[in-house]
A and B are shown apart, each in its own frame.
Chain A
Amino acid sequence: MTNLTNLTDLTAKAAVDAIAAGDLDAAELFTAYREAAAAEDLNAYTWVADQTPDLSAAAALPLRGVPLAVKDLFCTQGVPSQAGSKILEGYRPPYDATVVAQLAAAGTSLLGKTNQDEFAMGSSNENSAYGPVKNPWDHTRVPGGSSGGSAAAVAAGLAPWALGTDTGGSIRQPAALCGIVGLKPTYGSVSRYGMIAFASSLDQAGPFARDVTDAALLYSHMHGRDPRDATSVGRPDADAIALPTGERLDGLRLGVPDDLTGEGVEPGVWTAFEAALETAKGLGATVERVALPHAGYGLNAYYVIAPAEASSNLARFDGVRYGARAEADDLITMYTKTRHDYMGTEVKRRILIGTYALSSGFYDAYYASAQKVRTLIARDFTTAFAGVDLIVTPTSPGVAFPLGAKTEDPLSMYLNDIFTIPISLAGIPALSLPCGLSEGLPVGLQLAGPAFSENRILEAAYALEQAFAFDNTPSAIGGAPS
């Protein structure tokens, strides 16, 4: 019914508009994506819808039945939700996560569940019990993580947009490594109910999209206070999310934190970042240095707080109420063997770190101190935002790295998130926008703002996106796609 050559080339917003205008059939669009997703060779999906649902009702809703890929960390009623873990193999939740239900009510249709690092612990998607995901730009490289499947699916045209979660960078870093847009919203603006918990004081759901407009559109239907998540606050009254339109940055003050951007950044990433700053100046922005004196301790604090919260959250996986169980003659051995047999190495590592940090005699030295460092980091950002509107950094210190390159060295893997973690600890929003290439691979620009400044971030990102004119079609350099 349409003369479009390839339906999966449409952005989500363009698809919404075309369906609303009667130029595109929602079911036809769903079928095109379903067939593409079922035939994919990136291992981005762990489950794909096996038929096209009746979309006549959804097509009348604001998001018009446009398909949505959902990270496997979200509970989806009756649909496998395995969180990248063998311990949840075949688990079909009896309810939907609030954000999944909200988006379905707004008219998205569930296309598939995407692969991820086990329980969202990882920066490369290599910690999945269902195998690593390949980067669409180079099949020998990682897509980033932990939401690697969602990022790869959107970048490869296997989904118009996708849901991810970000605890220390799990939306922003894979968005950067796959050349797409990813938004980590302000902590508390989106419900965490039904998101399988990793670190509850940091976890936040957000959108992956091919462009800034689509990210704004999806997020505009995600936020809101949820009575089932006591930490959710929604957004301040009347502060709805608007689709961005401005193409200038006149008067916008950007801050570059010297304390964070000193060492460890690949030269090609730094070059792309500096070029992005020049582009911003050309659009009327000013760029100045800002101090974040404690941000450099973010990684240290994070690797106490996140594992501590994880060690508590993951206690629920004990072989009793759901998930896998190892057979044993007594109860304690059943618990310990189940957790040994069905959890991966990184998950065990973090459970042990977290348990150690919370254990008698070590609590003050680790957990209590880390929470104080968190206070200092949040204060640094508040002070910095008195002088600038947004803080900008590269999203990740490097481009997508080869599969297997960092799996033997946990610390080098953790360093991937050095620019994203301080922002998570402060609970503030940040977006990753593709700003160029280094060695033929995408580089992400991270824009962070004060709590609830998503509109400001999206406006700035939109203006930069027009100026960068980044071609987000994966060029498939090494290990070319079929």
Chain B
Amino acid sequence: MIDRTQVLHVARLARLQLTDDEVERMSTELSSILDHIETISELDLSDVAPTAHVVASEGALRADAPRASLDHDVALAQAPDPADDGFRVPSPQA
């Protein structure tokens, strides 16, 4: 069972604001989904290696050579608040 406090803790980790109604709803829904997921614990997994990726990608490193990247203006063109050649955000201290 995921209670209100846990939902709020996880939401804080995920940088996600939730209304009171959403906290209620997520508490119920996440509990039922996690209950379902927990049937995994029926399996004996002690000698099993984890799989992170099905494809072994060896030698995926590129040569360490300079190359062109996105033009500065292009990279800033979609920003909600570009300023002084950068991305402006509210102060962390306010």
With a cutoff of 8 Å between Cβ atoms, the chain B residues found around residue A370 in the complex are: 37, 40
| Residue in A311, A321, A324 with the greatest tally of chain B CB atoms within 10 Å | A321
Q: Which residues 209-253 of A sit at the B interface, judged by CB distance below 8 A?
A: 227, 230-233
Complex Cα gap A322–B6 (Å)? 30
Flag if B52 contacts A323 (CB, 8 Å).
no
In the complex, the chain A residue whose C-beta lies closest to that of B47 is A372
A348-392 vs B, CB cutoff 8 Å, 1 = contact: the mask equals 110111011001000001101111111110100000000000000
Instruction: Report if A321-B17 is in contact (Cβ < 8 Å); known contacts: A378-B51, A410-B29, A411-B33.
Output: no
Flag if A300 contacts B50 (CB, 8 Å).
no
Flag if B34 contacts A356 (CB, 8 Å).
yes
With a cutoff of 8 Å between Cβ atoms, the chain B residues found around residue A359 in the complex are: 10, 13
Complex Cα gap A1–B41 (Å)? 66
In the complex, the chain B residue whose C-beta lies closest to that of A367 is B50
B71-93 vs A, CB cutoff 8 Å, 1 = contact: the mask equals 00011011111000001011111
Instruction: Report if A374-B51 is in contact (Cβ < 8 Å); known contacts: A94-B77, A352-B14, A355-B13.
Output: yes
Give the interface size bracket for A toward B.
35 or more
In the complex, the chain A residue whose C-beta lies closest to that of B19 is A340
Contact of A330 among B48, B78, B93 (CB under 8 A): B93
Flag if B90 contacts A411 (CB, 8 Å).
no
Flag if A411 contacts B26 (CB, 8 Å).
no
Flag if A188 contacts B40 (CB, 8 Å).
no
Instruction: Report if A311-B14 is in contact (Cβ < 8 Å); known contacts: A91-B78, A320-B89, A352-B26.
Output: yes
With a cutoff of 8 Å between Cβ atoms, the chain A residues found around residue B51 in the complex are: 371-372, 374-375, 378
- Chain A: minimal CB distance from B21 (Å): 11
Flag if B22 contacts A348 (CB, 8 Å).
yes
A326-359 vs B, CB cutoff 8 Å, 1 = contact: the mask equals 0011111111110110010100110111011001
B68 CB-CB contact with A under 8 Å: no
Instruction: Report if A427-B80 is in contact (Cβ < 8 Å); known contacts: A336-B15, A355-B10, A373-B43.
Output: no
Flag if A94 contacts B18 (CB, 8 Å).
no
Contact of B43 among A233, A294, A328 (CB under 8 A): A294
Flag if A356 contacts B41 (CB, 8 Å).
no
Flag if B45 contacts A373 (CB, 8 Å).
yes
With a cutoff of 8 Å between Cβ atoms, the chain B residues found around residue A231 in the complex are: 53, 55, 57, 60
Flag if B16 contacts A92 (CB, 8 Å).
no
Contact of A340 among B17, B49, B79 (CB under 8 A): B17
Flag if A372 contacts B48 (CB, 8 Å).
yes
Flag if A340 contacts B53 (CB, 8 Å).
no
B1 CB-CB contact with A under 8 Å: no
Complex Cα gap A44–B32 (Å)? 32
A201 CB-CB contact with B under 8 Å: yes
By secondary structure, the A interface counts as: helix
A419 CB-CB contact with B under 8 Å: no
Complex Cα gap A161–B19 (Å)? 42
Flag if A427 contacts B55 (CB, 8 Å).
yes
A187 CB-CB contact with B under 8 Å: yes
A104 CB-CB contact with B under 8 Å: no
- Chain B: minimal CB distance from A347 (Å): 10
- Chain B: minimal CB distance from A263 (Å): 15
A25 CB-CB contact with B under 8 Å: no
Flag if B37 contacts A366 (CB, 8 Å).
yes
With a cutoff of 8 Å between Cβ atoms, the chain B residues found around residue A299 in the complex are: 36
With a cutoff of 8 Å between Cβ atoms, the chain A residues found around residue B16 in the complex are: 336, 339-340, 343, 348, 351-352
| Residue in B26, B41, B54, B60 with the greatest tally of chain A CB atoms within 10 Å | B54
Complex Cα gap A129–B6 (Å)? 28
Instruction: Report if A330-B80 is in contact (Cβ < 8 Å); known contacts: A336-B15, A366-B37.
Output: no
Query: Can you name 25 A-B residue pairings with CB atoms under 8 Å?
Result: A94-B74, A94-B78, A188-B54, A201-B54, A230-B57, A294-B43, A299-B36, A300-B39, A303-B33, A304-B37, A322-B80, A328-B90, A331-B90, A331-B94, A348-B22, A349-B26, A352-B7, A353-B34, A356-B34, A366-B37, A370-B37, A373-B43, A375-B50, A376-B48, A427-B54
Residues of A within 8 A of B (CB): 91-95, 187-188, 201, 227, 230-233, 294, 297, 299-301, 303-304, 311, 315, 318-325, 328-337, 339-340, 343, 345, 348-349, 351-353, 355-356, 359, 365-366, 368-376, 378, 410-411, 425-427, 451
11 further A-B pairs in the complex, CB-CB below 8 A; given A352-B14, A352-B30: A93-B78, A300-B37, A301-B40, A332-B15, A348-B22, A352-B26, A371-B52, A373-B40, A373-B45, A375-B50, A410-B33
Query: Which 8 interchain pairs have the tightest Cβ spacing?
Result: A427-B54, A371-B50, A340-B17, A325-B80, A330-B94, A188-B55, A230-B60, A322-B78
